[in-house]
Structure 1
């Protein structure tokens, strides 16, 4: 039986707290790798913990140890990979594409030619959560409302920027904004300090469960011509339906669009290390899939895709040895 997401997040907290002095590439030994994730109540943190769990099962034989690091999210993770302070990171698929090509928020950085994909993970819908009675039944109803738009440097924040632009809105149209973490935004919406929050996340998500369990909220559809155009013009987006009844007080399915979570590294990471990690996860996939609810619908062959950035040579060798084929 799959773990409840809250149990999974708590279980993997220990992974990041073991030998904290080792966290980060600059402090790690030769046999240590650090995976940048996100906030501890999101899915990236337990997802990174699940990957490390698989790697660390073989650590005595391979002398490879894996640690997770909580971070501000996708944009920060990409830049940490680029400056060498992380070995691996979990990043939204759209920001993998933009970082590799040097577009969008990475235009001033230039193309990140050394960025490499290891494998893809779960889908992540752009999720709009509003207090019941706030009058928010669609994205454009955020006008005049106070909204948490996410931490600077997070994929959540950058995706919100994209959606605002798609709807022809700027932040002045809102009734105010906050830049709170997952935990902070959950408290703020229940305390009436904000009317809504946005979150690009796999489901079920602990931060949304916390909100739904403590106050009356609803998930809001994010759809229509603006989203149709956004998805049609960007191959890294896809339309997504968030199942109903995942959270307390929520009912029918909600329509939105989304990205995928992607484990990435750099071309400088040794092929043997990437091969070992990939083999530990994809080669024992049934065990891995049991570590988190969001992995239950994954299939190994669907996790291999090179349309965002090249696949690392170490991952390719592991994929070939396992008899898997990258998707076109």
Structure 2
């Protein structure tokens, strides 16, 4: 009798979970922009959970490459990644040479990520060519950060061996290394403003170096997922004029294995609460509903397509 009662109670307790769909979003390190972005998306999705029966959770991960690989393996439902990394995975080129991720689909392009070369002022680095014989952090191995820096180097005929020191520190370690004079500068592909760069510019006299000129123009022509942009003046201490650079988009991606309903719900949650969503992080200041469709480098998931069409954006 006890067993029957226990089984009945367990069954009753389980009823609310019946039919619920749980989705996870892979992001990046907790000091970056991906993690709070995943949190912002989940917050909007979970506001609708009674109606949709979809519950969303966020995970801190190693970033773009990690997220795409775990989506491919079915360990994550969604992930945030740089549009250049998404393009390479969808096409089976670059770091995904011969390893095309055919299941990879775009959900939306969230905000621009711009490459910043943050340097100590006393290092006298005024252009990309000045990094030669300097101690420069390129990013942790396999990161989109490192890949973009190396692409820029290749466009300018610079090799890793031209550096006095090529660093592989994680993002959270870079501001301290700059302050402690262990490196002369570091590359960071991120949404702006960002706490990491704010920390660096508040700790030591810095210069954010313009990344511009014919080599960058040629780079953008060769790789259409890149676009010219500016890091606006006043975002960081010492940045008194706009800084020319280039960047990609932070794209929310998923897999064909994820249900149309789940993807539709995510897009709907963001678009129907768009003004509130934009207030959740300064990197979203200039995004529009239309810009969510710019810079997609993998085909749109059918669930996303359905909502964008209903909203009159496709």
TM-score, structure 2 length as denominator?
Answer: 0.91
Structural RMSD (CA): 1.4
Structure 1 match to 2:16: none
Structure 1 match to 2:121: 132
What's the offset of the Cα at 1:108? Answer: 3.5
**Matched-pair contact (CA < 8 Å) for 1:305–1:311:** no
**Matched-pair contact (CA < 8 Å) for 1:77–1:89:** yes
What's the offset of the Cα at 1:132? Answer: 0.8
What's the offset of the Cα at 1:318? Answer: 1.2
Structure 2 match to 1:70: 60
Match of 1:285 among 274, 281, 286: 274
In structure 1, C-alpha distance between the alignment counterparts of 2:59 and 2:134, rounded to whole Å: 34
In structure 2, C-alpha distance between the alignment counterparts of 1:305 and 1:269, rounded to whole Å: 22
In structure 1, C-alpha distance between the alignment counterparts of 2:124 and 2:223, rounded to whole Å: 30
Match of 2:44 among 40, 43, 54: 54
Please give the residue correspondences for 1:257-272 in structure 2 after superposition, counting only pairs within 5 Å. Answer: 257-272=246-261
In structure 2, C-alpha distance between the alignment counterparts of 1:258 and 1:137, rounded to whole Å: 19
Structure 2 match to 1:122: 111
The count of corresponding residues between Structure 1 and Structure 2 is: 296
Match of 1:223 among 206, 212, 217: 212
**Residue 269 of structure 1 aligns to a residue in which SS?**
coil
In structure 2, C-alpha distance between the alignment counterparts of 1:246 and 1:165, rounded to whole Å: 29
Q: Which has the larger radius of gyration?
A: 2
Structure 1 match to 2:11: none
**Residue 157 of structure 2 aligns to a residue in which SS?**
coil
Structure 2 match to 1:79: 69
Unaligned 5+ residue runs, structure 2?
Answer: 1-18
**Residues 141-170 of structure 1, C-alpha deviation per residue, up to 9 Å, x if partnerless?**
111111111111211011111111111111
Match of 2:182 among 190, 193, 203: 193
In structure 2, C-alpha distance between the alignment counterparts of 1:306 and 1:262, rounded to whole Å: 8
Please give the residue correspondences for 1:157-176 in structure 2 after superposition, counting only pairs within 5 Å. Answer: 157-176=146-165
**Matched-pair contact (CA < 8 Å) for 2:260–2:302:** yes
Cα pair distance change 1:204/1:184, threshold 3 Å: same
**Matched-pair contact (CA < 8 Å) for 1:52–1:68:** yes
What's the offset of the Cα at 1:60? Answer: 3.0
What's the offset of the Cα at 1:96? Answer: 1.1
**Residue 133 of structure 1 aligns to a residue in which SS?**
helix
Give yes or no for the alignment of 1:202 onto 2:191.
yes
Cα pair distance change 1:123/1:235, threshold 3 Å: same
In structure 1, C-alpha distance between the alignment counterparts of 2:47 and 2:72, rounded to whole Å: 28
In structure 2, C-alpha distance between the alignment counterparts of 1:108 and 1:194, rounded to whole Å: 36
**Matched-pair contact (CA < 8 Å) for 1:39–1:181:** no
Give yes or no for the alignment of 1:247 onto 2:201.
no
Structure 2 match to 1:108: 98
**Matched-pair contact (CA < 8 Å) for 2:20–2:55:** no
Structure 1 match to 2:4: none
Unaligned 5+ residue runs, structure 1?
Answer: 1-28
| Farther-moved stretch of structure 1 (59-68 vs 34-43) | 59-68
Match of 1:256 among 237, 242, 245: 245
**Residue 193 of structure 1 aligns to a residue in which SS?**
coil
Structure 1 match to 2:7: none
Structure 1 match to 2:12: none
In structure 2, C-alpha distance between the alignment counterparts of 1:143 and 1:76, rounded to whole Å: 30
